[in-house]
Amino acid sequence: MKYALVTGGSRGIGRAICVKLAEMGYHVLINYKSNIDEARKTLDLVAGKGSTGELIKFDVTNNEEIEVTLNKWMENNKDKYIEVLVNNAGIRKDVLLIWMENEHWHDVINTNLNGVFYITRKLLKDMLVNKYGRIVNVVSLSGIKGLPGQVNYSAAKGGVIAATKALAQEIGKKKVTVNAVAPGFIKTDMTSDLNESELKNMIPLNRFGLPEEVAEVVGFLASEKSSYVTGEVISVNGGLYT
Protein backbone atom coordinates (compact mmCIF):
# COMPACT_ATOMS: atom_id res chain seq x y z
CA MET A 1 0.00 0.00 0.00
CA LYS A 2 1.26 3.47 -0.93
CA TYR A 3 0.41 6.58 1.10
CA ALA A 4 -0.64 10.09 0.05
CA LEU A 5 -1.65 13.12 2.10
CA VAL A 6 -3.92 15.85 0.76
CA THR A 7 -4.36 19.02 2.79
CA GLY A 8 -7.86 20.48 2.63
CA GLY A 9 -9.25 17.18 1.37
CA SER A 10 -12.70 17.69 2.85
CA ARG A 11 -14.14 19.78 0.03
CA GLY A 12 -13.76 21.12 -3.50
CA ILE A 13 -10.55 20.53 -5.40
CA GLY A 14 -8.96 18.67 -2.47
CA ARG A 15 -11.81 16.16 -2.40
CA ALA A 16 -11.48 15.48 -6.15
CA ILE A 17 -7.73 14.97 -5.67
CA CYS A 18 -8.34 12.45 -2.86
CA VAL A 19 -10.69 10.51 -5.14
CA LYS A 20 -8.17 10.58 -8.01
CA LEU A 21 -5.37 9.32 -5.75
CA ALA A 22 -7.67 6.57 -4.45
CA GLU A 23 -8.32 5.57 -8.06
CA MET A 24 -4.53 5.38 -8.50
CA GLY A 25 -4.36 2.91 -5.61
CA TYR A 26 -3.23 5.21 -2.82
CA HIS A 27 -4.29 5.01 0.80
CA VAL A 28 -5.30 8.65 1.26
CA LEU A 29 -4.79 10.72 4.39
CA ILE A 30 -7.58 13.28 4.12
CA ASN A 31 -6.69 16.43 6.01
CA TYR A 32 -9.33 18.96 7.05
CA LYS A 33 -9.50 21.91 9.41
CA SER A 34 -12.98 21.75 10.95
CA ASN A 35 -15.53 20.27 8.53
CA ILE A 36 -15.64 16.64 9.65
CA ASP A 37 -18.94 15.84 7.91
CA GLU A 38 -17.55 16.83 4.52
CA ALA A 39 -14.27 15.03 5.28
CA ARG A 40 -16.25 11.86 5.99
CA LYS A 41 -18.01 12.22 2.64
CA THR A 42 -14.59 12.34 0.95
CA LEU A 43 -13.59 9.20 2.82
CA ASP A 44 -16.75 7.46 1.54
CA LEU A 45 -15.85 8.48 -2.02
CA VAL A 46 -12.32 7.12 -1.53
CA ALA A 47 -13.78 3.83 -0.31
CA GLY A 48 -16.12 3.87 -3.32
CA LYS A 49 -13.03 3.69 -5.53
CA GLY A 50 -12.04 0.47 -3.79
CA SER A 51 -9.18 2.09 -1.87
CA THR A 52 -8.71 3.05 1.77
CA GLY A 53 -8.15 6.29 3.61
CA GLU A 54 -8.28 8.01 6.96
CA LEU A 55 -9.14 11.45 8.29
CA ILE A 56 -6.31 13.53 9.69
CA LYS A 57 -7.34 16.77 11.35
CA PHE A 58 -4.95 19.68 11.66
CA ASP A 59 -4.82 23.36 10.88
CA VAL A 60 -2.09 23.96 8.29
CA THR A 61 -1.24 27.26 9.96
CA ASN A 62 -0.42 25.54 13.25
CA ASN A 63 3.08 24.05 13.14
CA GLU A 64 2.80 22.48 16.58
CA GLU A 65 -0.45 20.72 15.73
CA ILE A 66 1.08 19.44 12.47
CA GLU A 67 4.14 18.10 14.31
CA VAL A 68 2.12 16.33 17.01
CA THR A 69 -0.42 14.84 14.58
CA LEU A 70 2.09 13.64 11.99
CA ASN A 71 4.55 12.35 14.62
CA LYS A 72 1.72 10.25 16.00
CA TRP A 73 0.89 8.92 12.53
CA MET A 74 4.56 8.11 11.89
CA GLU A 75 4.86 6.39 15.27
CA ASN A 76 1.85 4.19 14.44
CA ASN A 77 3.05 3.48 10.90
CA LYS A 78 6.77 2.85 11.40
CA ASP A 79 7.36 0.79 8.27
CA LYS A 80 5.47 3.22 6.00
CA TYR A 81 5.99 6.67 4.57
CA ILE A 82 3.93 9.27 2.80
CA GLU A 83 5.30 9.40 -0.75
CA VAL A 84 2.79 11.86 -2.21
CA LEU A 85 2.00 15.21 -0.62
CA VAL A 86 -0.58 17.54 -2.15
CA ASN A 87 -0.55 20.98 -0.56
CA ASN A 88 -4.06 22.04 -1.47
CA ALA A 89 -5.58 23.77 1.60
CA GLY A 90 -6.24 27.42 0.88
CA ILE A 91 -8.39 30.42 1.63
CA ARG A 92 -9.17 33.80 0.03
CA LYS A 93 -9.86 37.04 1.84
CA ASP A 94 -10.26 39.51 -1.00
CA VAL A 95 -10.07 43.23 -0.37
CA LEU A 96 -8.30 46.11 -2.09
CA LEU A 97 -4.90 46.73 -0.53
CA ILE A 98 -5.88 50.19 0.59
CA TRP A 99 -8.56 48.65 2.85
CA MET A 100 -6.61 45.51 3.77
CA GLU A 101 -6.25 44.83 7.48
CA ASN A 102 -3.34 42.94 9.04
CA GLU A 103 -5.64 39.96 9.63
CA HIS A 104 -6.57 39.72 5.92
CA TRP A 105 -2.89 39.63 5.02
CA HIS A 106 -1.66 37.27 7.74
CA ASP A 107 -4.53 34.75 7.53
CA VAL A 108 -4.03 34.32 3.79
CA ILE A 109 -0.22 34.13 4.00
CA ASN A 110 -0.35 31.74 6.95
CA THR A 111 -2.74 29.31 5.27
CA ASN A 112 -1.57 29.41 1.64
CA LEU A 113 2.17 29.91 2.12
CA ASN A 114 3.34 29.09 5.65
CA GLY A 115 1.24 25.92 5.74
CA VAL A 116 3.06 24.62 2.66
CA PHE A 117 6.38 25.19 4.42
CA TYR A 118 5.42 23.42 7.67
CA ILE A 119 4.00 20.28 6.06
CA THR A 120 6.52 19.94 3.26
CA ARG A 121 9.43 20.22 5.71
CA LYS A 122 7.81 17.56 7.87
CA LEU A 123 7.27 14.98 5.11
CA LEU A 124 10.29 15.66 2.92
CA LYS A 125 12.85 13.73 4.99
CA ASP A 126 11.17 10.35 4.45
CA MET A 127 10.85 11.02 0.72
CA LEU A 128 14.57 11.82 0.49
CA VAL A 129 15.58 8.79 2.56
CA ASN A 130 13.42 6.55 0.37
CA LYS A 131 14.64 8.28 -2.80
CA TYR A 132 11.13 8.71 -4.14
CA GLY A 133 8.49 11.36 -3.60
CA ARG A 134 5.98 13.60 -5.31
CA ILE A 135 4.98 17.01 -3.99
CA VAL A 136 2.23 18.93 -5.76
CA ASN A 137 1.32 22.45 -4.70
CA VAL A 138 -2.07 23.83 -5.67
CA VAL A 139 -1.46 27.49 -6.49
CA SER A 140 -3.52 29.84 -8.64
CA LEU A 141 -3.68 31.99 -11.73
CA SER A 142 -3.61 34.81 -9.19
CA GLY A 143 -0.05 33.82 -8.21
CA ILE A 144 1.14 33.99 -11.84
CA LYS A 145 -0.71 37.01 -13.18
CA GLY A 146 -1.73 38.87 -10.01
CA LEU A 147 -5.40 39.79 -9.56
CA PRO A 148 -6.81 43.02 -8.12
CA GLY A 149 -8.37 42.58 -4.70
CA GLN A 150 -6.04 39.65 -4.09
CA VAL A 151 -2.69 41.24 -3.25
CA ASN A 152 -2.48 38.96 -0.19
CA TYR A 153 -3.54 35.82 -2.10
CA SER A 154 -1.37 36.62 -5.16
CA ALA A 155 1.63 37.15 -2.85
CA ALA A 156 1.00 33.84 -1.07
CA LYS A 157 0.51 31.80 -4.26
CA GLY A 158 3.38 33.56 -6.03
CA GLY A 159 5.51 32.68 -3.00
CA VAL A 160 4.57 29.02 -3.31
CA ILE A 161 5.45 29.07 -7.02
CA ALA A 162 8.92 30.48 -6.28
CA ALA A 163 9.37 27.98 -3.43
CA THR A 164 8.39 25.14 -5.79
CA LYS A 165 11.11 26.16 -8.26
CA ALA A 166 13.77 26.52 -5.55
CA LEU A 167 12.90 23.26 -3.79
CA ALA A 168 12.94 21.35 -7.09
CA GLN A 169 16.63 22.22 -7.38
CA GLU A 170 17.37 21.08 -3.84
CA ILE A 171 15.79 17.64 -4.06
CA GLY A 172 15.99 16.50 -7.68
CA LYS A 173 19.06 14.32 -7.09
CA LYS A 174 17.07 12.23 -4.63
CA LYS A 175 14.35 11.54 -7.23
CA VAL A 176 11.83 13.65 -5.39
CA THR A 177 9.88 16.05 -7.62
CA VAL A 178 7.88 19.14 -6.72
CA ASN A 179 5.49 20.90 -9.08
CA ALA A 180 2.60 23.33 -8.93
CA VAL A 181 -0.83 23.31 -10.52
CA ALA A 182 -2.45 26.69 -11.09
CA PRO A 183 -6.24 26.57 -11.48
CA GLY A 184 -8.27 29.43 -12.91
CA PHE A 185 -11.97 29.63 -11.95
CA ILE A 186 -13.11 26.25 -10.60
CA LYS A 187 -16.62 25.48 -9.29
CA THR A 188 -16.22 25.03 -5.52
CA ASP A 189 -17.35 26.72 -2.31
CA MET A 190 -14.47 29.15 -2.76
CA THR A 191 -15.97 30.57 -5.95
CA SER A 192 -19.67 30.25 -5.03
CA ASP A 193 -19.88 34.04 -4.62
CA LEU A 194 -18.69 34.67 -8.20
CA ASN A 195 -20.98 35.16 -11.19
CA GLU A 196 -20.06 32.47 -13.71
CA SER A 197 -22.38 33.70 -16.46
CA GLU A 198 -20.57 37.05 -16.49
CA LEU A 199 -17.01 35.82 -15.91
CA LYS A 200 -17.17 32.95 -18.43
CA ASN A 201 -17.08 35.45 -21.30
CA MET A 202 -13.39 36.08 -20.69
CA ILE A 203 -12.52 32.36 -20.54
CA PRO A 204 -11.70 30.83 -23.97
CA LEU A 205 -13.37 27.53 -22.98
CA ASN A 206 -16.39 29.64 -21.91
CA ARG A 207 -17.09 28.05 -18.52
CA PHE A 208 -15.72 27.50 -15.03
CA GLY A 209 -13.70 24.31 -14.56
CA LEU A 210 -14.57 21.31 -12.43
CA PRO A 211 -12.51 20.09 -9.46
CA GLU A 212 -12.05 16.77 -11.28
CA GLU A 213 -10.35 18.59 -14.18
CA VAL A 214 -7.73 19.94 -11.77
CA ALA A 215 -7.40 16.54 -10.06
CA GLU A 216 -6.48 14.87 -13.39
CA VAL A 217 -3.40 17.08 -13.73
CA VAL A 218 -2.48 16.66 -10.06
CA GLY A 219 -2.85 12.90 -10.54
CA PHE A 220 -0.34 12.93 -13.39
CA LEU A 221 2.18 14.98 -11.38
CA ALA A 222 1.66 12.66 -8.40
CA SER A 223 2.32 9.57 -10.53
CA GLU A 224 5.53 7.88 -11.62
CA LYS A 225 4.71 8.96 -15.19
CA SER A 226 5.82 12.53 -14.41
CA SER A 227 9.35 11.37 -13.55
CA TYR A 228 11.14 14.03 -15.67
CA VAL A 229 8.93 16.99 -14.69
CA THR A 230 9.97 19.12 -11.73
CA GLY A 231 9.87 22.79 -10.74
CA GLU A 232 6.99 23.33 -13.19
CA VAL A 233 3.74 25.24 -12.94
CA ILE A 234 0.88 23.80 -14.99
CA SER A 235 -2.16 26.00 -15.54
CA VAL A 236 -5.66 24.49 -15.57
CA ASN A 237 -7.69 27.55 -16.45
CA GLY A 238 -9.64 27.04 -19.67
CA GLY A 239 -7.13 29.15 -21.58
CA LEU A 240 -7.67 32.25 -19.46
CA TYR A 241 -4.01 33.16 -19.17
CA THR A 242 -0.76 31.30 -19.62
Residues catalogued as catalytic:
153
Beta-bridge partners for 180: 137, 233
- Contact, 73 vs 22, CB < 8 A? no
Q: Is 238 in the site for ligand NDP (CB under 6 A)?
A: no
| Residue 101: partners with Cβ closer than 8 Å, 6 or more residues away | 95
From the CB of 92, what's the least distance to ligand NDP, in Å? 7
Give the full edge-to-edge strand order of the sheet including 26-32: 53-57, 26-32, 2-6, 82-87, 133-138, 176-183, 233-236
| Dihedral in degrees, nearest 10, Cα atoms 166, 169, 21, 30 | -50
Q: Where are the beta strands (DSSP E) in 33-104?
A: 53-57, 82-87
Q: Is 218 in the site for ligand NDP (CB under 6 A)?
A: no
Q: Whole-angstrom Cα distance, residue 158 to residue 194?
A: 22
Q: Is 150 in the site for ligand NDP (CB under 6 A)?
A: no
Q: Is 26 in the site for ligand NDP (CB under 6 A)?
A: no
Q: Is 223 in the site for ligand NDP (CB under 6 A)?
A: no
For the chain, helix (H) and strand (E) counts, in that order, are 9, 7
Nearer to ligand NDP, 172 or 239 (CB): 239
**Segment lying near ligand NDP (by CB under 6 A), choices 4-12, 47-55, 121-129, 218-226:** 4-12
Q: Is 8 in the site for ligand NDP (CB under 6 A)?
A: yes
Q: Is 185 in the site for ligand NDP (CB under 6 A)?
A: yes
Q: Is 14 in the site for ligand NDP (CB under 6 A)?
A: yes
One residue of 140, 152, 177, 235 binding ligand NDP per CB under 6 A: 140
Q: Is 180 in the site for ligand NDP (CB under 6 A)?
A: no
Q: Which residues of 17-49 are buried (b: 16+ CB within 10 A; e: fewer)?
A: bbbbbbebebbbbbbbbeeeebbeebbebbeeb
Under DSSP, the state recorded for 209 is B
Nearer to ligand NDP, 226 or 237 (CB): 237
One residue of 188, 226, 230, 235 binding ligand NDP per CB under 6 A: 188
Q: Is 120 in the site for ligand NDP (CB under 6 A)?
A: no
Name the site residues for ligand NDP (rule: CB under 6 A): 7-8, 10-14, 31-35, 38, 59-61, 88-91, 111, 138, 140, 183, 185-186, 188-191
